[in-house]
């Protein structure tokens, strides 16, 4: 069934080729138009050429368009996929290194904390503008956002629009992955009851129940075999299975400790739980590799083949689109408004939760109560994320400061005056991407 699908961030040399694999394999989307939208014309041209060549190579009926005009790209769209990085890796590097100088060292820094909040300040206005454009040109469209921080971004989009929005994350495919879960439980994939129910917040969600097909408890088997320390801690402490455990360490300050000595550069430092702080030099090398490969494939310098493209089976958005079109009643873990699905988290909070996907939309499943001690941790982050989204949209300095003061990591390690000083330095460093705070 031919649809119009717009990719915001369509110049990405890592994300777009992976999406194209799924589009080309989809029988449901035959004849659809894929619109690449990006503010970087050079990168966009490379992806436009590469995608057209892939369509030709596979003898596909897909149509490829590209534009730097966001509103035009959204006109008539049925589905929109967002994957943006405002400021790129230079901004991410600042999100890691500036807080480190103030005593806050985080391994990833793209979800919460001073860096995650600042990323939200950069991303939410852009994603909100997508929803505002859709209100006028395609009010029935679905928006699927992959950009971090997923929770704050979805909150911000919901604040400005009634457009249907869901946040997606590659981590969230794990509750459906029988092979992965079987390996953790010491069983065979065919023995697992999947998809398993999941709940929480993006990057701090967990499988709340896991069983073998005979109905017996599989969480006990996972705990018995667990060698990864955060996974074991989550099971022992809350009785749930963290499936994005490296991010979990950022949500609980006591799990986040640096083992190497900080000497002016945080990137690459060794942390507890066999983690290292993300190194932007490595990230730049990886990105440059795929950008160079994409350019060579597009120019014909290297022979085009699907086998040389990046691949990530955890990208579920094309399957979700198919599930909506075909009314499949499939279960996916997505980031949407709670609506009482997790009964001891606020009804209006954006949560990561198992949901039924069909022609009527996306409906969170009834999870009930999660362990109260864990829920208390999540509620503190929910408050901070809501303040973050409000500050991102309004440019209100006082609300931005409240978001920083409410963040559990900064609250645990900095005085209010130190937190304010960090906010001021971060706002100044990212000023080029934060016009809402210019006054």
Of the candidates 78, 20, 83, 76, the one whose C-alpha atom is nearest the C-alpha of residue 52 is 20
Mention every residue, 6+ apart, whose C-beta is less than 8 A from residue 387: 399, 402, 403, 406
The pLDDT value recorded for residue 287 is 84
Instruction: Compute the residue count for the chain.
Output: 439
The pLDDT value recorded for residue 302 is 81
Mention every residue, 6+ apart, whose C-beta is less than 8 A from residue 258: 105, 269, 270, 271, 272, 277
Query: How far is it, in rounded angstroms, from Cα 374 to Cα 345?
Result: 10
The pLDDT value recorded for residue 272 is 94
b/e code 1-10 from CB counts within 10 Å (16+ = b): eebbbbbbbb
Of the candidates 386, 331, 404, 394, the one whose C-alpha atom is nearest the C-alpha of residue 364 is 331
Domains, the chain, ranges and CATH? Answer: 4-169+287-318 (3.40.50.720)
Helix-, strand-, coil-residue percentages of the chain, each rounded to 5? 50, 15, 35
The two structure tokens encoding residue 289: 């590799």
Listed in order, strand segments (DSSP E) in 264-349 are 270-271, 275-276, 330-337
Of the candidates 140, 194, 102, the one whose C-alpha atom is nearest the C-alpha of residue 419 is 102
For residue 438, report the phi and psi dihedrals to the nearest 5 degrees.
-65, -25
Q: pLDDT tens for residues 272-305? A: 999 999 999 988 888 888 888 888 888 888 888 7
Regarding beta strands 142-145 and 79-82, do their DSSP bridges make them parallel or antiparallel, or are they unpaired? Answer: parallel
The pLDDT value recorded for residue 28 is 98
pTM of full prediction above 0.75: yes
The pLDDT value recorded for residue 293 is 82
The two structure tokens encoding residue 8: 């915001």
Q: pLDDT tens for residues 374-404? A: 999 999 999 999 999 999 999 999 999 999 9
Residues of the chain with pLDDT under 50: none
Q: Given the structure tokens 């954006």, which residue do they identify?
A: 350
Query: How far is it, in rounded angstroms, from Cα 52 to Cα 159?
Result: 37
Query: How far is it, in rounded angstroms, from Cα 429 to Cα 439?
Result: 15
Query: Radius of gyration of the chain from Cα atoms?
Result: 21
């Amino acid at each position: 069934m031919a649809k119009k699908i717009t990719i915001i961030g369509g110049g990405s040399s890592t994300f777009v080729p992976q999406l194209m694999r799924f589009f080309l394999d989809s029988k449901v989307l035959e004849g659809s138009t894929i619109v690449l939208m990006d503010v970087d014309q050079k990168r966009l041209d490379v992806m436009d050429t590469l995608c057209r060549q892939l369509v030709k190579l596979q003898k596909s009926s897909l149509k490829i368009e590209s534009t730097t005009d966001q509103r035009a790209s959204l006109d008539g769209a049925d589905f929109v996929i967002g994957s943006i990085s405002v400021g790129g890796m230079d901004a991410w590097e600042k999100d890691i290194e500036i807080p480190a100088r103030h005593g806050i060292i985080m391994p990833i820094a793209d979800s919460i904390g001073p860096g995650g909040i600042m990323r939200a300040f950069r991303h939410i206005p852009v994603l909100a503008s997508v929803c505002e454009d859709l209100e006028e040109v395609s009010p029935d469209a679905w928006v699927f956002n992959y950009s971090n921080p997923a929770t704050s971004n979805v909150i911000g989009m919901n604040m400005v629009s009634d457009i249907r929005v869901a946040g997606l994350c590659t981590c969230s495919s794990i509750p459906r992955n029988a092979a992965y879960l079987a390996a953790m439980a010491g069983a065979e994939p065919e023995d697992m009851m999947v998809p398993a129910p999941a709940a929480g917040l993006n990057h701090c969600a967990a499988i709340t129940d896991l069983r073998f097909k005979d109905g017996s408890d599989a969480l006990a088997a996972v705990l018995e075999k667990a060698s990864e320390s955060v996974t074991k801690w989550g099971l022992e402490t809350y009785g749930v299975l963290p499936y994005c455990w490296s991010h979990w360490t950022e949500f609980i300050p006591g799990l986040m400790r640096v083992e190497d000595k900080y000497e002016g550069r945080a990137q690459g430092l060794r942390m507890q739980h066999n983690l290292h702080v993300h190194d932007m030099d490595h990230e730049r090398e990886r990105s440059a590799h795929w950008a160079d490969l994409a350019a060579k494939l597009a120019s014909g310098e290297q022979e085009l083949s699907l086998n040389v493209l990046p691949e990530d089976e955890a990208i579920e958005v094309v399957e979700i689109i198919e599930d909506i079109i075909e009314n499949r009643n499939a279960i996916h873990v997505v980031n949407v408004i709670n609506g009482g699905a997790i009964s001891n988290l606020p009804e209006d909070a954006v949560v990561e939760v198992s949901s039924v996907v069909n022609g009527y939309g996306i409906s969170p499943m009834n999870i009930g109560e999660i362990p109260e001690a864990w829920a208390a941790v999540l509620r503190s982050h929910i408050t901070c994320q809501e303040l973050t989204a409000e500050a991102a949209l309004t440019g209100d300095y006082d609300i931005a400061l409240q978001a920083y003061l409410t963040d559990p990591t900064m609250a645990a390690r900095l005085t209010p005056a130190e937190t304010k000083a960090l906010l001021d330095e971060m706002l100044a460093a990212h000023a080029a991407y934060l016009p809402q705070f210019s006054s």
